[in-house]
Amino acid sequence: MDMDKETLFKKLADAVIDGDEDETARLAQEALDTGIDPYDAIMQGCNKGMAEVSDRYEAKEMFVPEILLSADAMYAAIDILRPHLKVDDTVAKPATIIIGVAQGDIHDIGKNLVKMMLDVAGFNIIDVGRDVPVETFVEKAVEHNAKLVAISALMTTSMMNMEPVIEGLKEQHSGAKTIVGGAPISQDFADNIGAAGYGKDAVAAVRIAKKLTEA
Amino acid sequence: MARMTPPERMGAVMMGEKPDRVPVVPFILGYSAQITGVSIGDIYADGDKCFDAMFNSMRLHGYEQTPMYGYASLGPWEFGGEVMFPYGKGHSAPSVTKHPVMSIEDIENLEVPTFEKELPGGFKESDKVAKRCVAMGMPATIQTGSTFTASSVVAETSLFLKWIFKEPKAVHLLLEKVSDMFVNALEYFAETYGPEHCMPFDGGPVEANTILSPKQFKEFAYPYMEKLHKKIKELGMPAVLMHPCADQNLNIPYYVELRKKLNWEGRYFWLFGPETPIQDQIDNFGDHDIICGNVDPPSIQYKSYEDVVRLCKENIEAGKDSPNGFVLAPGCEFPPLAPPIKVMAMMDAAEKYGRYD
């Protein structure tokens, strides 16, 4: 007997929290097979699960190894559901965010977590990778008419390559705001270089991204 | 009190005596290249250039730190992977371009580097620095950890962190092999330079509680730390520089346990990140060890001279009277691109606020 929608969404969310990618893939397929709207399955199953993961990370109840497993589990479901999403031209397109690691830095676990959380939150994400030259951030922001540029850095050397991106955007794509994050970054440093926002972790980055793109 | 030389100052702290003022160990690595006219890449690719840059920076500024070689991504090169030296814009330390471990099978096939003929990877450069340090009466500072951080880059990092849950036995096997490499390193340096001249340097950022839970630390990091520190004790090395990098506040009970369990008479230098209040360090380790400062490195990079002096003053006031000594230091590597006036700020703060007489 098919389980009802709400039960399936709950099980999907729980499987995301548990980092069980076999189970999320199975449930995603079951959602499709039973005619559940894949958008609802993503929003009420996967996203709810990931939101709970975020809360538990903030409460220091979950840590990065668990989050990486939850992310894999979530994408196992989304990869099955996404091709079946209905295109609705009447709905406004999501804001585009350019995300990357500052020049001089190859540490991208933090960036990848933020990317995943922003993706789940419904943004259109353009990932420009790691060790990204200043010009690339600016060019990609112009090319994709981005509303936001998110830059991460783990080193005191690479964090010094954030301000030139902000300056470049002012000149070439003033419609885009910048958020910064990473181990050496603080609110004070973000204010100092003229960033519009600072995310102390992936959860905070999503919060500030929503605030800045809604403004 | 008569003015001491830097070696006398550090010697006094090591002996549990009061120096004339708080010593300054600015944890300088890449910065020494910037101010001596060589590239940061060179000091990691060539141990002799590393020694020259660090020795000259020490002479120029007059601080108490002696030359040392090490970086956070040590491990992959030694196990047959590849690293890129920091010659590019914004680069500050070697980074991994090819992880030797990308699968569980790779862990099983991984061979522990030996130190019998040619030294593996960065240890060859580290050896050059150690040789010249010991010849001049300075300690041979050798990076021998952390096993957990090194393992997390010997394997591709995301895979490694996920294997903690999915393949715990394989993770332990990798940790065992990486810690065996560090045991080999400890034995080599003790035999070559004499244990009394060696100062192991242990620490890493991947154990930080922004990444790892204290429970995971207990299961996957602590046992290998204990294994290496037992070895250090057996070999008779007199001091260890411990750097629990970034926020490791939830791991502190395990560092305390390590201290108690080994019942070691040597001295630890504890250099925590800026997230750990100095008073907490004194409460946990001050009865027997030397507490280092933890001035916020990014603030050193971008704040003014006056602000850095103020931050150092706060650090000194919090730690100066720790029962077994205090050393002014940043909470991680001194920012390689910081202007020299920021080192001067640390030195000025130590002179002005760190005097004991």
Query: Do the Cβ atoms of B91 and A104 come within 8 Å?
Result: yes
State whether residue B269 is helix, strand or coil: strand
Domain co-membership, A109 together with A42 = no
Please compute Rg for chain A using Cα positions: 18
Domain co-membership, A108 together with A20 = no
Residues from chain A contacting residue B299 (CB–CB below 8 Å): 188
Residues from chain A contacting residue B335 (CB–CB below 8 Å): 156-157
Residue of B93, B161, B297 lying closest to A65 (CB–CB): B161
Could you give the CA distance from residue A116 to residue A206 in angstroms, rounded to a whole number? 10
Model pLDDT for residues B278-287, shown as the tens digit of each residue: 999 999 999 9
Domain co-membership, A53 together with A154 = no
State whether residue B295 is helix, strand or coil: strand
- Give a yes or no: residue A152 inside a domain: yes
Task: Look at strands B140-143 and B95-98 and give their pairing.
Answer: unpaired
The pLDDT, as a whole number, for residue A89 is 67
Q: Which of residues 135-174 of B touch A (CB under 8 A)?
A: 157-158, 161-162, 164-166
The pLDDT, as a whole number, for residue A2 is 61
Exposed/middle/buried for residue B6 (C-beta within 10 Å: 0-12, 13-18, 19+): middle
- Give a yes or no: residue A145 inside a domain: yes
- A122, A137 contact by CB (below 8 A): no
- Give a yes or no: residue A17 inside a domain: yes
Which residues, 6+ apart, have CB-to-CB distance to A156 below 8 Å? A184, B92, B297, B298, B300, B301, B333, B335, B336, B337, B338
A42-65 mean pLDDT:
94
Exposed/middle/buried for residue A92 (C-beta within 10 Å: 0-12, 13-18, 19+): exposed
Alpha carbon B184 to its chain centroid, in Å, reads 18
Domain co-membership, A41 together with A79 = yes
Model pLDDT for residues B151-168, shown as the tens digit of each residue: 999 999 999 999 999 999
Tell me the percentage of chain A whose pLDDT exceeds 90: 90
Domain co-membership, A108 together with A73 = no
State whether residue B323 is helix, strand or coil: coil
- Give a yes or no: residue A175 inside a domain: yes
Report which residue type is found at A101. Answer: V
Q: Does B213 touch chain A (CB under 8 A)?
A: yes
Tally Cβ neighbours within 10 Å of residue A122.
13
- Give a yes or no: residue A16 inside a domain: yes
**Which residue in B93, B68, B157, B77 sits closest to A155, CA to CA?**
B93
Tell me how close the Cα of A171 comes to any Cα of chain B, in angstroms: 22
Domain that holds residue A138: 96-214
- Give a yes or no: residue A89 inside a domain: no
Q: Does B335 touch chain A (CB under 8 A)?
A: yes
The pLDDT, as a whole number, for residue A214 is 87
Angle at alpha carbon of residue B322, lines to B320 and B324, rounded to 5°: 115
Laid out side by side, the sheet with A124-132 consists of A124-132, A96-102, A148-152, A177-181, A197-199
Q: Please check the confidence at residue A182 and state whether its pLDDT lies above 60.
A: yes
Model pLDDT for residues A69-84, shown as the tens digit of each residue: 999 999 999 999 999 9
Domain co-membership, A25 together with A57 = yes
Q: Which of residues 21-40 of B touch A (CB under 8 A)?
A: 30
Tell me the percentage of chain A whose pLDDT exceeds 70: 97
Query: Do the Cβ atoms of A189 and B212 come within 8 Å?
Result: no
Domain co-membership, A122 together with A74 = no
State the angle between helix axes of B157-166 and B168-193 in degrees (0 to 180), rounded to the nearest 10. Answer: 120
Task: Look at strands B82-84 and B95-98 and give their pairing.
Answer: antiparallel
Model pLDDT for residues A88-134, shown as the tens digit of each residue: 766 677 899 999 999 999 999 999 999 999 998 889 999 999 999 99
In this prediction the ipTM stands at 0.95
Residue of B90, B165, B299 lying closest to A158 (CB–CB): B90
Q: Left, alpha or beta for B308 (phi > 0: left; psi -120 to 50: alpha)?
A: alpha
CA separation (Å) from A19 to A8, A32, A51, A53, B190? 16, 21, 13, 10, 45
Could you give the CA distance from residue A88 to residue A86 in angstroms, rounded to a whole number? 6
Q: Where are the beta strands (DSSP E) in B198-318?
A: 198-204, 239-244, 267-270, 290-292
Could you give the CA distance from residue B302 to residue B337 in angstroms, rounded to a whole number? 10
The pLDDT, as a whole number, for residue B312 is 98
Q: Please check the confidence at residue B55 and state whether its pLDDT lies above 70.
A: yes
> Which residue on chain A is closest to B206 by alpha carbon?
A64
Query: Do the Cβ atoms of A64 and B161 come within 8 Å?
Result: yes
Tell me how close the Cα of B266 comes to any Cα of chain A, in angstroms: 32
Q: Does B92 touch chain A (CB under 8 A)?
A: yes
CATH number for position A34: 1.10.1240.10
Alpha carbon B234 to its chain centroid, in Å, reads 21
Q: What is the residue-averaged pLDDT of chain B?
A: 97
B235-258 mean pLDDT:
97
State whether residue B218 is helix, strand or coil: helix
CATH number for position A128: 3.40.50.280
Per the document, the length of chain B is 357
Domain co-membership, A123 together with A174 = yes
As a dihedral over the C-alpha atoms of residue B127, residue B130, residue B131, residue B136, rounded to 10 degrees, the angle is 170
Query: Do the Cβ atoms of A104 and B250 come within 8 Å?
Result: no
CA separation (Å) from B12 to A200, B1, B5, B313? 41, 13, 11, 21
- Give a yes or no: residue A11 inside a domain: yes
The pLDDT, as a whole number, for residue A59 is 94
Confidence of residue B2 (pLDDT cuts 50, 70, 90): confident
Q: What is the residue-averaged pLDDT of chain A?
A: 94
B43-56 mean pLDDT:
98
Q: Please check the confidence at residue B357 and state whether its pLDDT lies above 90.
A: no
Domain co-membership, A42 together with A139 = no
Residues from chain A contacting residue B211 (CB–CB below 8 Å): 63-65
DSSP summary character for residue A43: I
As given in the structure block, the two tokens for residue B338 are 């910081």
Model pLDDT for residues B8-42, shown as the tens digit of each residue: 999 999 999 999 999 999 999 999 999 999 999 99
State whether residue B199 is helix, strand or coil: strand
**Final residue of a structural domain among A54, A84, A114:** A84
**Final residue of a structural domain among A34, A62, A84:** A84
Confidence of residue A1 (pLDDT cuts 50, 70, 90): very low
**Final residue of a structural domain among A24, A54, A84:** A84
Model pLDDT for residues B171-230, shown as the tens digit of each residue: 999 999 999 999 999 999 999 999 999 999 999 999 999 999 999 999 999 999 999 999
Give how many domains chain A has, as a whole number: 2
Domain co-membership, A101 together with A185 = yes
Domain co-membership, A80 together with A105 = no
Domain co-membership, A11 together with A49 = yes
Could you give the CA distance from residue B190 to residue B157 in angstroms, rounded to a whole number? 31
- Give a yes or no: residue A34 inside a domain: yes
Task: Look at strands A177-181 and A197-199 and give their pairing.
Answer: parallel
